Amino acid sequence: MAASKCTRLTGALSRQLLDSVDSVLFDCDGVIWRGDQAIPGAPDVINSLKKNGKRVFFVTNNSTKTRQMYAEKLGKLGFDASADEVFGTAYCSAVYLKNVCKLDGKVYLIGSNAMRQELEDVGIRPVGVGPDPISGVQKDWANVPLDNEVRAVLVGFDEHFSYMKLNRALQYLCNPDCQFVGTNTDTRLPLEGGKAVPGTGCLLRAVETAAQRQAEVVGKPSNFMFECVAGQFGLDPERCLMVGDRLDTDIMLGSNCGLKTLLTLTGVSTVAEAEANQKSECPHRQKMVPDYYIESIADILPALQA
């Protein structure tokens, strides 16, 4: 294996890396697809990995789709994948609330219908999905009606995020026994053409600021994202590879959990950013240095077919 980090992955080194792992975890957008189009060659890579006896998992911070919705998208794009191989933050948040928080009660959900579905699938009752228009004056807002069965606030991506939702979350979180969970801290969602829109991290930070509390975050780079996969499939971290396009989420997750890491350059982060982190003396930035980088995940196909 490579003697130093941030090594370009080519030829024989690709085969050596693949021989050293049993399981490969892939981020999705920017790694195996962009928008609604597969990265050229990516389906062949995933399908070849499976034919070579590797286990493949899909780990994404996107909370707007259920596992089944992701499986359907993967299938349409030519990937051999099933819902139980998908670990999105909608699903992982539900698992966290049920198994770690041992939640007994309802959840006030700032999030999507997909999150509502994943919560309901594990037996948790969510409230709050959809628009919540404001009315009245400040005194009314401070005394907004609350559901006395709510025992947690969960914040994910919510296109209907509003002042009243922020206020309602604050009122619930004034109770110190109310648990507080966020899906992820990504502040921007990159789009084609260099555009971007605000991400879940912006919404979560607003709620944290209002409530003067910090959320437990389940998404990358939180260890829980890997633990969720490893716990269900008995993975050995030393025999796992994390493949992603973001240094602050994908590569950081791999570093936090002791996985080998591979940065693809078809998404957000660049080699220059990785090298700058490598030159830094900051321990946090050092965790954002990948073991390897590659132009596109499709570049490992020859090693798989050899």
The CA angle 181-24-192, to the nearest 5 degrees, is 70
One-character DSSP codes across 69-101? HHHHHHHHTT----GGGEEEHHHHHHHIIIIIS
- Whether residue 150 contacts residue 177, with contact meaning beta carbons closer than 8 Å, is answered with no
Active site residues: 27, 29
- Whether residue 261 contacts residue 241, with contact meaning beta carbons closer than 8 Å, is answered with yes
Is 220 labelled as part of a ligand binding site? yes
Q: In 3D, which of 292, 270, 288 has the Cα closest to residue 279?
A: 288
Is 121 labelled as part of a ligand binding site? no
Is 250 labelled as part of a ligand binding site? no
DSSP 3-state of 290 = coil
Burial class (CB in 10 A: 0-12, 13-18, 19+), 200: buried
For residues 171 and 55, what is the distance between their CA atoms, to the nearest angstrom?
44
Query: Looking at residue 248, what DSSP letter applies?
Result: I
- Whether residue 298 contacts residue 266, with contact meaning beta carbons closer than 8 Å, is answered with no
Is 140 labelled as part of a ligand binding site? no
Binding annotation for Mg(2+): 27, 29, 245
**Per the annotation, where are the binding residues for substrate?**
220
Tell me the binding residues: 27, 29, 220, 245
